[in-house]
Amino acid sequence: MDIGELKKQSDLSYDIAIAKRNALEKVHSRLVVVYNEHIFRADSQTICLVKTMGDNYPAPIYMLDTNGNPVEISDPVDFLKTLIQRNQEAISSYHQMSKTFEKRGD
């Protein structure tokens, strides 16, 4: 492989790496939800916490929002549904986009 081809491959890898980072940042923005007038991240940590609390503690449960303020969640099942929906919407969109990265890299 000559140096020109190496540079081309390197440029392509750089483009893909940036596109991937931007796509991941897009996921992070999309994971933010507003519920009960407070802001949460629909990430795996929040989902696991709500699921665990909902299964093991009678409603209402109490959570901290992204600014560290306490929130009463009277319906953990509904909250969990909202979180999962947003999480999967964001990550499935990322999954679709990642296929285009693979194609560009082939």
Partner 1 sequence: MTKGVLLFCFDTADVQYHKILERCVGLIKKNLKLEITVVTDFNTFSKLEPLGFVNYKFIEPELGNTKHGLEWRNVDRHMAYDLSPYDTTLVMDIDYFPFTDNLKKFLDTKYDFLISKHAYDLTSRNSFDMRRFSMIDMVWATVFIFKKGHKAERIFEMVRYVKSHYQYFMDLYRVRDRRFRNDYAFAVALEQANGFISYDTLPIKLPTLPPDCKVIELNDHGIVWQYNDQINHIQHQDVHVLNKEIANV
Decide: 50 and 83 in contact? Cβ < 8 Å. Answer: yes
- Of 57 and 88, CB closest to partner 1: 88
Minimum separation from the CB atom of position 55 to partner 1 (A): 26
Task: List the Cα angle 16/29/64 in 5-degree steps.
Answer: 140
Interface contacts to partner 1, rule CB under 8 A: 11, 14-15, 17-19, 21-22, 25-26, 28-30, 32-34, 37-39, 41, 66-67, 69, 93
Instruction: Give the integer Cα–Cα distance in Å for 65 and 41.
Output: 8
Q: Which is nearer to partner 1, 21 or 81 (CB)?
A: 21
Shortest reach from residue 56's CB to partner 1, in Å: 27
For 45-85, list the strands marked E by DSSP.
61-64, 70-73
